[in-house]
Amino acid sequence: MLSYRHAYHAGNHADVLKHLILVQMLQYMTQKPAPLWVVDTHAGAGRYSLESEQAKKLGEFQDGVGRLWKATGQPKAVAEYLDTVRELNPDGELRHYPGSPWLAYQQLRKDDRLRLFELHSNEVKLLARSFNGTGRQVHIVEGDGLGALKTLLPPPTRRGLILMDPSYETRNDYAAVLQALKESLKRFATGTYALWYPQLAKIESRQLPDRLKRLPAGNWLHATLRVQAPATDGFGMHGSGMFIINPPWTLAESLRQALPWLARELALGDGADWSLEVQEA
């Protein structure tokens, strides 16, 4: 877990899905006047240089946000997501990429709060540097975000969005997110929970969606974006998914327009696809 550095993967197809959905949720949730708490359990560095050695080593952003940067005919949700990325690239050249914390911070109002957790000591330092000067609105903790949820929920405002996106480098991550969601729903059943996961050949990844659907939650949305068929050798990530508990009611329609377009634009070969499931109590 502590070896993972998101700088190698910033702006890839998985970030596109995760961050497009995050922007849509925050735009809706900040329309109501009551203050909102946003908790990011695996915050990373906050924002990333796409000209860094790490980003260039794998170049994953080139087949993610890089493909969309100057694409035409974008659905509304894609255009709104790209607008948030452009806030870090005012000259029009794609050089920087905002992580989930920075995207969230861009959407928040003065009475909203952002709570960020990160275990990696180097990432925490970069995260603190990214949010230097933001005052009490942003609170950064070097520690286990999943474990800390029991101390934060329910938030004082009774309005909250909790984002969970661990690295899934170990099998324990799959069990940990399920347990954290179960415990969190007991404390804060009306909260909005957004869980990202990778589509991998390993059995834990393939079984996770069904296990999530069995959680005690009446309303949920499950979106996936696959950019290629699973590799024959069983290695590599061929797509990713987002499971949202208590999603904004507008999210499903936005994704019905955006996901087919993204699957075409981000396809890396045969097998690119998308899916969307919604359950309402």
| Model confidence, pTM | 0.96
| Partner residues linked to 114 by β-bridges | 38, 138
Give percent above pLDDT 70 in the chain.
Answer: 99
The CA distance from 12 to 15, in Å, is: 5
The CA distance from 139 to 115, in Å, is: 5
- Average pLDDT over every residue of 137-156: 96
Instruction: Mention every residue, 6+ apart, whose C-beta is less than 8 A from residue 218.
Output: 279, 280, 281
Whether 67 shows a pLDDT value over 50: the answer reads: yes
- How much is the pLDDT for 244? 98
Range of the domain at 145: 6-196+213-218
110 within domain boundaries: yes
- How much is the pLDDT for 111? 96
DSSP structure string for 134-164: -GGGEEEEES-HHHHHHHH-S-TTS-EEEEE
Tokens of 210: 């069904």
CB 176 within 8 A of CB 166: yes
- How much is the pLDDT for 208? 97
Whether 104 shows a pLDDT value over 90: the answer reads: yes
Residue 135: pLDDT band with limits 50, 70, 90: confident
CB 133 within 8 A of CB 18: no
Look at phi and psi of residue 98 and say left if phi exceeds 0, alpha if psi is from -120 to 50, else beta: beta
Total domains in the chain come to 1
Residue 2: pLDDT band with limits 50, 70, 90: low
- Average pLDDT over every residue of 75-102: 97
- How much is the pLDDT for 231? 84
E strand spans, 70-203: 96-98, 113-118, 138-142, 160-164, 192-199
Tokens of 98: 């905002």
Give percent above pLDDT 90 in the chain.
Answer: 89
| CATH code, domain carrying 176 | 3.40.50.150
Catalytic status, residue 91: no
| Local structure of 44: helix, strand or coil | coil
Whether 202 shows a pLDDT value over 60: the answer reads: yes
160 within domain boundaries: yes
- How much is the pLDDT for 1? 43
173 within domain boundaries: yes
243 within domain boundaries: no
275 within domain boundaries: no
- How much is the pLDDT for 3? 60
Find the catalytic residue in 15, 40, 112, 165.
165
227 within domain boundaries: no
32 within domain boundaries: yes
Among 3-7, 223-227, 259-263, 276-280, which stretch is predicted with the lowest mean pLDDT?
A: 3-7
70 within domain boundaries: yes
The CA distance from 274 to 210, in Å, is: 17
| Local structure of 63: helix, strand or coil | helix
Tokens of 62: 């080139």
